[in-house]
Amino acid sequence: MTPRACILGCSGLALDAEERAFFRDADPWGFIVFRRNVENPEQLRALTSDLRDAVGRDALVFVDQEGGRVQRLTEPHWRKRRPAADFGAIHRRDPQRARDAVKLNHHLMALELREVGLDADCAPVLEVCDAAGDPIIGDRAFSPSPDVVGELGRAALAGLAAGGVVAVIKHMPGHGRADADSHESLPRITASCRTLETTDFSPFKALANAPAAMTAHVVYDAIDPAAPATTSLNVVQDVIRGRIGFDGLLMTDDLSMKALQGSFEDRARDAIAAGCDMLLHCNGVRAEMDGVVAGAPRLDGDALRRADRALGFRTTPEPLDKETAEARLAALFADAAA
């Protein structure tokens, strides 16, 4: 029997007997960890091992590790990484140095993740930075230029792949110009289809061969004014699968975010009906997860094919002398600023 089409979070630093039994019965395809689940490398390594043991297979364990404001593993046990915009600033002066820095940074980050049993990263952000948009994206984006975002996003994917980590590009088909933070309310984008095609969609189209992508809980008035991308058949089928041409694993953003309405079972069913392959629920709240699991089908068909393809990106990391690499990364920034 195949796993359920969902990725779930846990509540704390270790699994208790009730959580372990729940995950065994729910049988999610993967797991995700957050800051509340992280204390130190030894503890995190034990937690990721226990999560896999709960479902009896080598499931992917995800994390949001972008650098900057969104970094679940941080000091004192892990290096604080720079936000994407810092690499975009280098690109304005020296594009090759920026590409090298992004790839090296993400290779190093991937190695840190693999050391503690994390093998999928919800990164890079492929948003086009828009100063008029809500600051929830801001410096998480590489640049206001779609071409630069695509170029540096490609380098990030190469770095994560070199470290043996499955990358999840986000938030498809673009959150940069949204007027609100989808964690708190439902954002809208009023731009025309033509504008979206040439800006917001462009980096995703350039990297449409990525292993996985995360949807945006955003309404695009020109495409579907009635539903956010996550639950919109028009956006998923016509834009993500059609105009962008993405045939990788499509997972929702967190179903517990306030941009979405309705029961958790309804949210799950609506996202699957729209064409999402995988449901993401992050906060570890059991009552909410019960609803998500109730609405999550067993993987089959194209969703199973895409999930298996994504798993194939979890490879043996390429060797890297981390101390030398960290020094080289620091030098790339120093030389670019000179």
**pLDDT tens profile 24-40:** 999 999 999 999 999 99
Residue 50: band (very low, low, confident or very high) from pLDDT cuts 50, 70, 90: very high
Residue 289 CB neighbour total at 10 angstroms: 27
Average pLDDT over residues 175-181: 81
- The values of phi and psi at residue 30, to 5°, are -155, 180
Which residues are designated catalytic? 183, 253
Residue 7 DSSP one-character state = E
- Confidence at residue 338, expressed as pLDDT on a 0 to 100 scale: 61
Answer whether residue 335 shows pLDDT above 90. no
CB 177 within 8 A of CB 130: yes
Predicted confidence (pLDDT) per residue in 118-171, tens digit:
999 999 999 998 877 778 899 999 999 999 999 999 999 999 999 999 999 999
Local structure of 326: helix, strand or coil? helix
Q: How far apart are CA 50 and CA 196, in angstroms?
A: 43
- Confidence at residue 190, expressed as pLDDT on a 0 to 100 scale: 93
Supply the pTM of this predicted model. 0.96
Predicted confidence (pLDDT) per residue in 246-273, tens digit:
999 999 999 999 989 999 999 999 999 9
Local structure of 298: helix, strand or coil? strand
- Confidence at residue 314, expressed as pLDDT on a 0 to 100 scale: 97
